[in-house]
Amino acid sequence: MTNLPDAAPYRLLGLYDSPFVRRVAVTMHLYGLPFEHLSLSVFRHMDAMRPINPLFKVPMLTLPSGETLYESAYILDHLDELAVERGLAPLIPRQGPERRQVHQLMALAIVATEKAVAIEYEHKRPGERQWADWTERLRGQMRQAFALLEERLAGDFLFGGHLTQADITTAAGIGFVRYVQPDEWAGVACPALTALADRLEESAAFKAVPLDE
Ligand SMILES: N[C@@H](CCC(=O)N[C@@H](CS)C(=O)NCC(=O)O)C(=O)O
C-alpha cells in the first residue's frame, strides 16, 4: 500500500457542471486522492484553456508525472488501478460477470447523460437553428436509458447492495439534468433513481464537488 502524497499532485481540468468531470472528482474523493481543480469552461474560458488543453475536451487529468489523460472512462480505469495498489476496493469490479454488469449499468447511465448533454447543446443554438424533432429523439433516448436504470434499481444501490461506479455515474448524470435542465428531469418519471441521487448528493464525496461552484 502506497502512502498518500503530501501535496496535491493530480490536476483535474473542467467544471463540475460536466457530469464526466464530476464523476472523476467524486471518485478521487472516495479514493482519498487529493487534486488541484482547474475550474475552466470549455466554452467561456477558451483563451485560458488553450495552452493547457487545446482539445477543449474535459475532463483532462494531469498525473504527477506530467502525463495527461482524457476520457473519463479511461481516467476512472486508472484511478481504480491506483485504488487497488493502495489496498482499496475498486468501484468497478476488476473481473468476471460483476465487472461486465457494472459496465453495462454505466453504459446506460452514459447514454442518458450523453443525450442530456446533447439536448443542452441543441438549446445553445440560435432559436431558428434548433431542430425540435432531433431534440425529441434525444429526449426519448435519455428517458429510455433512465427508465432501464430505474427498472434495475431494486435496493439502495444499482449493483451488489453496495456503492459502485454505476451509482456514481448515474447520480452525476442526474445531477447534471436537474441542475441544467430541471424541466427535463420533471419529465423523467424515475422515483427510485431520484432517491438514489438525493442520497448520493448528501454524501461527503458529492458535497465536496458541488455543481454550483
Ligand atoms: N466521453 C467523454 C465526454 C466528455 C465531454 O463530452 N465533455 C464535454 C463537457 S460535459 C466537453 O468537453 N465538451 C466540449 C466539446 O465537446 O467540445 C468523457 O467521458 O470524458
Which three cell numbers, joined as nine digits, stand for 18? 460536466
Residues 199 and 103 reside in one and the same domain:
yes
The residue among 5, 1, 3, 14 whose CA lies nearest residue 68 is 14
Residues 185 and 110 reside in one and the same domain:
yes
* pLDDT given for residue 105 in this prediction: 98
Q: Tally the residues of the chain.
A: 213
CATH of the domain at 100: 1.20.1050.10
Residue 81 CA, ligand 1 centroid: distance in Å: 23
Q: How many CB atoms lie within 10 A of CB 147?
A: 16
Residues 128 and 175 reside in one and the same domain:
yes
Residues 112 and 172 reside in one and the same domain:
yes
Which three cell numbers, joined as nine digits, stand for 15? 467544471
Q: Which atom of ligand 1 is nearest to the CA of 117?
A: 10
Residue whose CA is at the smallest distance from ligand 1 atom 16:
57
3-state secondary structure of 14: coil
Residues 160 and 58 reside in one and the same domain:
no
Domain residue limits at 33: 10-85
How high is the mean pLDDT in each 10-residue block of the chain (213 residues)? 57 97 98 96 95 97 96 98 97 98 98 97 93 96 98 96 98 97 92 97 98 76
CATH of the domain at 45: 3.40.30.10
User: Residue 127 class from Cβ within 10 Å (0-12 exposed, 13-18 middle, 19+ buried)?
Assistant: exposed
3-state secondary structure of 37: strand
Residues 194 and 123 reside in one and the same domain:
yes
Provide the domain count of the chain. Answer: 2
Kindly state the helix (H) or strand (E) to which residue 13 belongs, with its residue range: strand 10-13
* pLDDT given for residue 111 in this prediction: 98
Contacts 24+ apart (CB under 8 A), 117-121: 117/19, 117/176, 119/181, 119/184, 120/180, 120/181
Residue whose CA is at the smallest distance from ligand 1 atom 5:
58
Residues 107 and 45 reside in one and the same domain:
no
Residue 161 CA, ligand 1 centroid: distance in Å: 30
Domain contains 212:
no
Rg of the Cα atoms in the chain: 17
Residue whose CA is at the smallest distance from ligand 1 atom 2:
71
* pLDDT given for residue 32 in this prediction: 97
* pLDDT given for residue 102 in this prediction: 98
Residue 60 CA, ligand 1 centroid: distance in Å: 10
* pLDDT given for residue 7 in this prediction: 57
Q: How many CB atoms lie within 10 A of CB 62?
A: 19
* pLDDT given for residue 3 in this prediction: 46
Domain contains 175:
yes
